[in-house]
Amino acid sequence: MDLLARRRYVIGGFILIVGVIFIVKLFNLQVLSTTYKQYATNNVVRKIVQYPSRGLIYDRNGELLVINKAAYDLLITPREVSVFDTTTLCNILKIKKTELEEKIRDAKEYSNYKPYIIVKQISPETYAFLQEQMYKYPGFYIQPRTLREYPRKIASHVLGYVGEVDDQALQNDKYYQVGDYTGISGIERAYENLLRGEKGVKYFLVDVHNRVKGSYNNGRSDVLSHLGKDITSTLDADLQEYAEQLLKNKKGSVVAIEPSTGEVLALVSAPNFDPNLLVGRERSSNYFKLSADTLQPMFNRALMARYPPGSTFKMVNALIALNERVISPYTQFTCAHGYHVGSFTQRCHHNQAFRLTGSIAQSCNAYYCYVFRYILEKPLFEGVRNGYDVWREKVLSFGFGKKLGTDLANEAAGFVPTSEYYEKNVFKGSRWRALPIISLAIGQGELGITPLQMANYASILANRGYYYTPHVVKNIEGQNGIGPRFLEKHTTLIDDEHFEKVLDGMERVMEPPGTGWHSKIPGIRMCGKTGSVQNPPYIAHSVFMGFAPRENPQIAISVYIENGEEGSYYAAPIASLLVEKYINGSISQRRKVLEKRMMEAELLNPFGLN
C-alpha cells in the first residue's frame, strides 16, 4: 500500500502541470498577445440579421393574394454613435428633429450595446438616397425588411395581417427578437411558422467609419436564411370578391365550402376593411381607427358571431325524428295558424296539414313542435331528460356546439345547452317537459351557431351525412398535402337513408310555394332553407343555407344578413347569386336586376329607419 500511496504525487503533479499550462496560456492570451484586444476594441465584426422574405399566399386558382414589398429599417447602436449632422438626416428621413432625438434616447435606454430600430419601414426611394450618405453616420445602419401587400384588397379576415411581436410571443418563442414581425390573425398567424421562413445571420468586418470591408471569416460563420414557404389557400378570389361586393353596406357574413373536401371557397365578414391598411407606417393609427369603429370591422363574424339558427335548424329535427322512427316521411301534422297546447301557442302562418317535404318547403313551425315533442317524449327514452340527451348528442354530431377545429384561430364554439343547463335555469328540480324548451324545435331559444358551422351543416346535407373539417389552406410549398387532420371524415349519427327525403323538401324551398322560390337559379337544382332569426327589439336577421347542384354538389353556403328580416329578402338572393356565379361563372341576364338590388341595399341601421 505504501508504494501505491506514492502515486498521490503523480496525480498531484498532474493537477499542478495542468494549472501551470493554463496560467501560461492565459498569460500568453491576455498579456502578451495583442490581436484579441484589437478585435475587441475595434469591434470589427458586425452581425446583421438576414430576414427572409415571407411566403406568398395564392388563391385556389393560383392568383396572388398576398405579396411582399421592400422596406428598410434604420438601426443605431448608441455606443458607436459619434457627432453627426442631425438636420440633414432628419431631412432625408422626413421626420422632426425632436422625434429623432427622442428615439435615440429610447435606444440608449434600451441598451448601449445592442442595435435598436429608430425609424421603421423606410421606402425604397428614401433608402436609395440614404444609402449613399450612410458613411456620415457611424453607429447607424440599415436593415432590409419585407412588408405585405394585398393586390386584390380582399379577404382581410381570412388572410389576417402581420405586425410586430408582442412581449408574450417574445417570451414563448426564442426565435423572435424585439421588432420582428409575426402573423397576428388569419392564415398569417395559423401558418406563421411556415410563412416566416428562417432568419439568417451575416457577419461583416466593418471599419471605424462604419464601412463594410468584407465578410468575416470568408462567410464561413454566416447562417443562411431560408425563404418562407408559399401557401395556396382554398379561397376562390373571384367568388370572395363578389361576396364582398354583395355584402357592401350590410352587416353579416358569407361562408362557402366545397362539400367534397371541406375547402373554404369564400369567407366574408361584413363590414370588412382593406388589408393594406394594416401595413406600413400608418398601421398603428389605422388599427386604432378600425378597432374604434362601432360597426366592428375587425370582428370576424363568420367565425366568432353566435346566432340562433332559426328555421334552418328544422332539417336537423326532421333527420333526428326520422332516425328515431318517431315520424315517417308521410306523417301528417296540421297547422292551425300555429301549434296550440292548453294556453300555449307557437304561432305560424299556415292553415293546412303538412307532410315532411311540405313542412320544409313552407317552413311550418307547428309541424316541428309536434316533431320535437315526439322525439323528446319517445317512450323508449323513459323521460324527457333522457330524450333531450339523445337529441343533443345527435345535434352535436352535426358539428354544432363545439369548435370545428379549422386552421383559423379565434373560432367560436357556439352553444347547444346541456341538460344540466336546463335543469339549473328552466326546470329547477321540477319534472322535465318538452313545452318549456319547445323553441328548440324551430331553432330559436338558447341555441348559438356560427356562420361557419352553418355552412358546414349545409356541407353535411350536401354530402348526405358527413363532413371534412373546413379549412382555408389547400397546399404548402414543399409539402405533400396539408396533413391528415383535414382528410378525416366526420360522420353524423343519422343513418344515410333519411337524407334524400329531407333534401326533397329543401329542393322544393326553391320552387313555388317554397319560401325561397324568388331566388331560384334557372338551370341549377339547388337545395336550400331560409330562416329568420328573432332579434328583439331590433329587426330580425335574414338567414339562408343550402348547396347546389343537388347531385354532385360543388358548393355549400351560409349567408347571414343582420337586420335583413326574412331569409327570403336578402340572404336567399345573395346566396343564389353566389352559387350561380360559382357554378356558371356569370349571372344570367334576367337576374341582373336582383343582383343590382342586392348590391345597392343598405342595412346598417338596426331599427330599419332609413
Partner 1 sequence: MASRKNIWLNIDWVSVLLYTILVFLGWVNIYAAVFNEEYNSIFDISQRYGKQLIWIGAAFIIAFFILITESRFYQFFAYPIYGFIIFLLVTVLFLGTEVNGAKSWFIIGNVGFQPSEFAKFATGLALAKYMSSHNFKLQNFRSFGIIAAILLIPSLLIFLQNDTGSALVYVVFILVLYREGLSGIVLFFGVLAVTLFVLALVVDNALLIAIMITSALVIFYFIRHKRKFFLKVLLIVLSVCGAVLLVNLLLSNKSRIEDILIVLSLLLAITFLIFSIRLRLYSYVLLLLVFISSVIFTLSVDYVFENMLGDYQQDRINNLLGIKSDPHGAGWNVNQSKIAIGSGGFNGKGFLNGTQTKFDFVPEQSTDFIFCTVGEEWGFLGASFIVILFLALLLRLLWLAERQRSAFARIYGYSVTSILFFHFVVNIGMTIGLVPVIGIPLPFFSYGGSSLWSFTILLFIFFRLDANRLQQNL
List residues binding partner 1 (CB under 8 A): 4-5, 7-8, 10-12, 14-16, 18-19, 21-23, 25-27, 29-31, 33, 35-37, 39-41, 43, 45, 109-114, 201, 203, 217, 220-223
Report the distance separating Cα 224 and Cα 51, nearest Å.
Answer: 10
Burial label for 454, CB within 10 Å (0-12, 13-18, 19+), is buried
As measured in angstroms, the least distance from the Cβ of 202 to partner 1 is 11
- Residue for cell digits 421588432? 179
As measured in angstroms, the least distance from the Cβ of 172 to partner 1 is 13
As measured in angstroms, the least distance from the Cβ of 207 to partner 1 is 17
Nearer to partner 1, 174 or 209 (CB): 174
Q: What are phi and psi of 449, to 5 degrees?
A: -135, 140
Instruction: Tell me the angle at which helices 571-584 and 592-600 cross, rounded to the nearest 10 degrees.
Output: 130
As measured in angstroms, the least distance from the Cβ of 21 to partner 1 is 7
As measured in angstroms, the least distance from the Cβ of 30 to partner 1 is 4
Q: How many CB atoms lie within 10 A of CB 467?
A: 25
Nearer to partner 1, 201 or 380 (CB): 201
Report the distance separating Cα 6 and Cα 557, nearest Å.
Answer: 91
As measured in angstroms, the least distance from the Cβ of 36 to partner 1 is 3
Nearer to partner 1, 16 or 336 (CB): 16
Q: What is the DSSP letter of 198?
A: B
Nearer to partner 1, 217 or 479 (CB): 217
Enter the C-alpha cell of residue 405: 377545429
As measured in angstroms, the least distance from the Cβ of 221 to partner 1 is 4
Nearer to partner 1, 25 or 349 (CB): 25
The amino acid occupying position 60 is R
As measured in angstroms, the least distance from the Cβ of 108 to partner 1 is 9
**SS3 state at 215:** strand
Instruction: Tell me the angle at which helices 571-584 and 237-246 cross, rounded to the nearest 10 degrees.
Output: 160
Long-range CB contacts for residues 342-346, cutoff 8 Å, separation at least 24: 344/435, 344/438, 346/438, 346/439, 346/441, 346/442
Asked if 124 and 70 count as a contact pair (C-beta separation under 8 A), the reply is yes
Asked if 81 and 74 count as a contact pair (C-beta separation under 8 A), the reply is no
Nearer to partner 1, 167 or 602 (CB): 167
Nearer to partner 1, 34 or 552 (CB): 34
Nearer to partner 1, 41 or 343 (CB): 41
Nearer to partner 1, 219 or 383 (CB): 219
Report the distance separating Cα 278 and Cα 287, nearest Å.
Answer: 6
Nearer to partner 1, 21 or 295 (CB): 21
As measured in angstroms, the least distance from the Cβ of 94 to partner 1 is 31
Enter the C-alpha cell of residue 3: 508504494
Closest to 530 (Cα-Cα) out of 489, 488, 575, 498: 575
Enter the C-alpha cell of residue 385: 331528460
As measured in angstroms, the least distance from the Cβ of 111 to partner 1 is 6
Sheet holding 263-270, edge to edge: 263-270, 252-258, 555-561, 541-548, 527-533
> Does a cis peptide bond (omega within 30 degrees of 0) precede residue 606?
no
